Amino acid sequence: MTAPESAALPPGDAGRLLTVSSLSVALKPGAAPIIAGLDLAIEAGETVALIGPSGAGKTTLLRALGGQIRPSAGAIVFNGAPLSTLSGRRLRETRRLIGFVAQKHDLVEPLRVHRNVMAGALGRWSDLRALRYMFWATASELAEARRALDAVGLAEKLKEPTSALSGGEQQRVAIARALVQAPRLLLADEPVASLDPTTAAEVLDLLTRLCREHDMALVCSLHQPDLAQRFFGRILELQGGRLVRDGAGATPPSAHDPGRA
Ligand SMILES: Nc1ncnc2c1ncn2[C@@H]1O[C@H](COP(=O)(O)OP(=O)(O)OP(=O)(O)O)[C@@H](O)[C@H]1O
Ligand SMILES: [Mg+2]
């Protein structure tokens, strides 16, 4: 067995969930970087809003943090593993600990709600179990889906077709799926952009509360600074691929939010 790659980390990084050092991302070799020399550290349970104008690089940064695109320079260390250089099985295993909630949810609408929720478990199931689940869900699988749906206030929708739910309810199903995945880091790219203001506030309240309760770190891009201020422990602002602000939000911090009273 090879030595754990975390053994090579600087000692200060040992307990940190995510450390980003001098990160640059260019989508083509030689092109101007979209993210330029960014440094960032995030602890478990922190709720971080990512704001900034259109084109600032929010989606690009989230995709790099999720291991979906490789940095052109710098390093991303997630949960002790050098995410930016992993490939193959190690990359897949590490990405299992990173959840994603998209702007327009990526649920399969014709499926019943519990099947979309339990898609969060596919990364830890064998192919055979996943195939069997397509046709027949066990009582314990349904119970797990119901628990996750209960956490987002939708237990009664367990067996509804997903297409029969409202936009806000569907976004909550996507959050329930992330709970089943039980990631250590949840990335959300404008998860409330297509919702009305009241529903958007409800979804952000739920998302940030569940992340605190489950000790998941959350990085969530948003276009509304007021919502960022209201619901998040920390606010990052990107402009032109650089961090121009890193400050506290109004929400009481989790036990892990560093240095915030
Ligand atoms: N696939 C791509 N090919 C070329 N350029 C891209 C690609 N994706 C993004 N870009 C460019 O990278 C820059 C940052 O884009 P990104 O989508 O990260 O911004 P954003 O902050 O998420 O914007 P928005 O708020 O509109 O979602 C933009 O100038 C964009 O045009
Ligand atoms: Mg974007």
Residue 1 lies in a domain: no
Question: Quick one: how far is CA 55 from the chain centroid?
Answer: 20
Structure confidence at residue 11 as a pLDDT band (50, 70, 90): very low
Question: What is the Å distance from ligand 1's center to 35 Cα?
Answer: 10
Whether 133 contacts 118, CB under 8 Å: yes
Structure confidence at residue 84 as a pLDDT band (50, 70, 90): confident
Question: What is the Å distance from ligand 1's center to 2 Cα?
Answer: 38
Ligand 1: which atom is nearest the Cα of residue 241?
A: 14
Domain count, the chain: 1
Residue 44 lies in a domain: no
Indicate if the pLDDT at residue 8 is higher than 80.
Answer: no
Residue 95 lies in a domain: no
Per-residue pLDDT of 122-140, as tens digits, reads 888 988 998 898 889 999 9
Which stretches of the chain are DSSP H helices? 58-65, 88-95, 113-118, 127-135, 139-151, 167-181, 197-213, 225-231
Residue 131 lies in a domain: yes
Indicate if the pLDDT at residue 55 is higher than 70.
Answer: yes
If you average pLDDT over residues 50-63, what whole number do you get? 96
- pLDDT, residue 13, reads 54
- As a whole number of angstroms, the distance between CA 254 and CA 4 comes to 29
Per-residue pLDDT of 230-248, as tens digits, reads 999 999 999 999 999 999 9
Burial of 40 (0-12, 13-18, 19+ CB in 10 A): middle
Residue 118 lies in a domain: yes
Q: Which domain holds residue 135?
A: 108-182
Whether 81 contacts 6, CB under 8 Å: yes
- pLDDT, residue 15, reads 59
Compare 89 and 14 and report the one with higher pLDDT: 89
* Mean predicted lDDT score pLDDT of the chain: 88
Q: Is 131 in the pocket of ligand 1 (CB under 6 A)?
A: no
Nearest to 207, CA basis, from 226, 224, 190, 225: 190
Ligand 1: which atom is nearest the Cα of residue 190?
A: 27
Q: Is 56 in the pocket of ligand 1 (CB under 6 A)?
A: yes
Per-residue pLDDT of 168-198, as tens digits, reads 899 899 999 999 999 999 999 999 988 889 9
- As a whole number of angstroms, the distance between CA 84 and CA 91 comes to 9
Q: Is 59 in the pocket of ligand 1 (CB under 6 A)?
A: yes
- pLDDT, residue 61, reads 97
Within a 10 A sphere around the Cβ of 1, how many other Cβ atoms?
Answer: 3
Residue 101 lies in a domain: no
Burial of 157 (0-12, 13-18, 19+ CB in 10 A): buried
List the residue whose alpha carbon is closest to atom 4 of ligand 1: 27
Residue 117 lies in a domain: yes
Of 25, 34, 220, the one to substitute when testing ligand 1's pocket (max ligand atoms within 8 A of C-beta) is 34
Indicate if the pLDDT at residue 6 is higher than 60.
Answer: no
- pLDDT, residue 118, reads 95
What is the DSSP secondary-structure string of 30-84? Answer: TSPPSEEEEEEEE-TT-EEEEE--TTSSHHHHHHHHTTSS--SEEEEEETTEEGG
Residue 229 lies in a domain: no
Residue 149's beta-bridge partner residues? Answer: none
Question: What is the Å distance from ligand 1's center to 203 Cα?
Answer: 25
Tokens of 85: 């250089």
If you average pLDDT over residues 49-56, what whole number do you get? 96
List the residue whose alpha carbon is closest to atom 26 of ligand 1: 54
Q: Which pTM was predicted?
A: 0.87
- As a whole number of angstroms, the distance between CA 149 and CA 41 comes to 31
Across the chain, how many H-helices and E-strands are there? 8, 10
- pLDDT, residue 104, reads 74
